[in-house]
Amino acid sequence: MDDLLLRLSQLLRFTPENLWHVLDILLVTYLIYRLLILVRNTRAWRILLGIVVFVAALFISEVLQLRTLHWVLDKATALAPVALVILLLPELRQALEGFARLGLWTSRFGGPHVSSSARAIDDLVAGITELAQQKIGAIIVFERATPLSDIIANGVPLDAQLTPALLNSIFFTGNPLHDGAAIIRGEKIIAAACQLPLSLSDQVSPRVHMRHRAGIGMSEQSDCLAIIVSEERGTISLAADGRMTMCEGVNELRVILNQELRGAESPRQKRSRKEAKRAL
């Protein structure tokens, strides 16, 4: 106890060396916090709870002199690092990509942000409207700052100008390219029939179909914007940052796309800005 008080008193002196120690502790605390946020409500959270139970059993077996059980658990700890990497491989990848989306690396090494023109968004909305009216299932992914090269590589390259007719022909039921996602970069459809990673989050309802789960999973691993058209109900949903929202209509879809892809203000934001100017 005296040693602890002595160390605390030394830290409170705020010497340059102590400030570096405090900064070190704060950085480690922040990293742990970010990891806990990333694995919250996922399969990894249950694995972490299992690790806590394992450590508790190891400690209790030593205290109660359960030598055989303690020997087995102690030998199992030698394989713990390898087992954790295998069990938490998807979550570790998601964590690394989550740190990359903090804005420190994406803008420098991930490539420039590709914006879309108002005409491209209008063509996209027109194509999605037709798909929704005909209840043709579709998933369209907009590439933004994070490159989707690995996803594009597993599909069929197109590099074609975005038009409503092309978008509808891709997802037409008789088309071999309809079973997969279309990747859009700027004003072009780069690839079609692309396979997307499925979300493993516990927050996604079990009733969510594979197409929607794939859109959410893609948005978890990059800063892309995924648009999903339901084949059963003809509804339009948007997935971004691992969350999915349903659009109430085509106008709302157009507003959101202009905000996300062009940085345009919504009518509500414009009214708020005008009211603020009048107040000044």
- Summarised one tens digit per residue, pLDDT across range 11-60 is 556 566 667 777 788 888 887 776 666 656 555 667 777 888 888 888 89
Separation between Cα atoms, residue 228 and residue 181, nearest integer Å: 9
Q: How far apart are CA 214 and CA 108, in angstroms?
A: 28
pLDDT at 199 > cutoff 70: yes
What pLDDT does residue 98 have?
Answer: 56
> In the predicted model, is pLDDT for residue 96 greater than 50?
yes
Would you tell me which CATH number, out of the four given (3.40.50.620, 3.40.1700.10, 3.30.70.640, 3.50.30.10), belongs to the domain 118-268?
A: 3.40.1700.10
Please give the model's pTM, rounded to 2 decimal places.
Answer: 0.61
Q: Is the pLDDT of residue 265 over 60?
A: no
Place of tokens 């998601």: 94
Q: Confidence band (pLDDT; 50, 70, 90) for 191?
A: very high
Domain with CATH 3.40.1700.10 in the chain: 118-268
Which residues lie closer than 8 Å to 44 by C-beta, 6 or more apart?
A: 88, 91
Is residue 240 within 8 Å of residue 225, measured between CB atoms?
A: yes
In DSSP terms, which residues pair with 243 in a beta bridge? Answer: 240
Percent of the residues in the chain that have a pLDDT greater than 70, as a whole number: 71
pLDDT digits (tens, 9 = 90+) for 119-160: 888 888 999 999 999 989 999 999 888 888 889 999 999 989
- Rounded CA separation 120/265 (Å): 17
Contacts (Cβ under 8 Å, ≥6 apart) of 54 = 73, 76
Cα–Cα distance for residue pair 80/58, rounded to 1 Å: 13
Number of Cβ atoms within 10 Å of the Cβ of 235: 15
For residues 59 and 221, give the distance between their C-alpha atoms in angstroms, rounded to a whole number. Answer: 37
